[in-house]
Structure 1
Amino acid sequence: MSPGMWSLELVVGCNKVVAGSNGKIVWRHTPWLGTHAAKGPHRPLRRIIQGLDPKSTASLFAKAQCLGEKRIGEDDCFVLKVAADRAAVMERNEGPAEVIRHVLYGYFSQKSGLLIYLEDSHLTRVQAPGNDTVYWETTIGTSLWDYRDVDGVMIAHEGRTIATVFRFGEVSMQHSRTRMEELWVIDDVVFNVPGLSFDYFIPPADIFDVDNSP
């Protein structure tokens, strides 16, 4: 498996979002921003660590801090916390937006070792000239279940993701909260797809850097 190489297409309403990675460059195309490379160090696709690739999940939490135990549903879990270091966080700053912190919490079953719940917390401060400082806190929590064996790998085939975006500032009028929920099911997982080559993961020409080619 090459979890650093992926391609994703998503259509919501009439808008199509395309994203991908060749293992070195993460890029995306949206109708409102066009094609652009993601800022900051290379990060895995959320779907990869949501049960698709246990090795990537284990690697992500290899240097995590253990916070103790907590029961999630019917599972007794141990809780791991990993935070992006300051240098990695600063690389994602852009214009008036400054990333303050990025923390990931993983809840793993004490019985099976499988990931049961994943929480991603991200705080950004926006201070445009002449305007009050506004903070955006994004929290994405994902519950995973229906693990099945696929070629010797335990894959979560179903889950629920809840994203909460909290906007707050120095005055109460700036406070707002948005909540979105996604129920998802994976129908098929196939490894070692015949005919799939590195060419499928080449970034678009307008951001492709020859020095970063695979």
Structure 2
Amino acid sequence: MSAIQSGPQLYFIRHGETEWSRSGQHTGNTDIPLTANGEDEARALRPWLQQIPFTFVLTSPRQRARTTCTLAGFGREAKIEPALSEWDYGDYEGRRSDDIRSQRPGWTVFRDGCPSGETPAVISNRADLLIARLLLMAGNVALFSHGQFGAVLAARWIGLPVIKGQHLLLGPASLSILGNNPSHPDVRMISLWNASPNYLPSQ
């Protein structure tokens, strides 16, 4: 007897490269575009994602996520979901981690958050509320979003605290899949993480 998929299958897509993602600058609310290379990365996702029958397509309101969504072939059906926005970095917007740690040794966003921005508790609650709404959906759900929020969402999906997100790196225009263990439908799992088109299997 084949296992029955329980709950939605979440396809999390990080946006393509921007000037700030290339330079390592924290990009939260700053609405910067993809680079030409980032646009190519987004287009490269299209052959794989177009083969998946999505019941819902949701995207962060930031143009880097919306453009990735459009270039991947889902601009028309996508709905804006503010909860998919990147971490609000507050006073650390546009700064690099090394620069921040030169003034605040040992700092990590996943433990310490950002002054005038989101704390780990706040972003954890945002992810939990989003997960609660996603669990009401069925089928394959595409989520176009951002790197550090994606790490938080994955950690919370499997019941881990936000600090564990520091172990879940996401590259530009990567695909990850969050779902349930088919043999144990009540157990959430990460079934694919940080895959690029060069490594995604053909269907």
Does the TM-score normalized on the shorter chain lie above 0.5?
Answer: no
TM-score, length basis structure 2: 0.26
Q: Which has the higher strand share?
A: 1
Higher RCO (Cα < 8 Å, 6 or more apart): 2
TM-score, length basis structure 1: 0.25
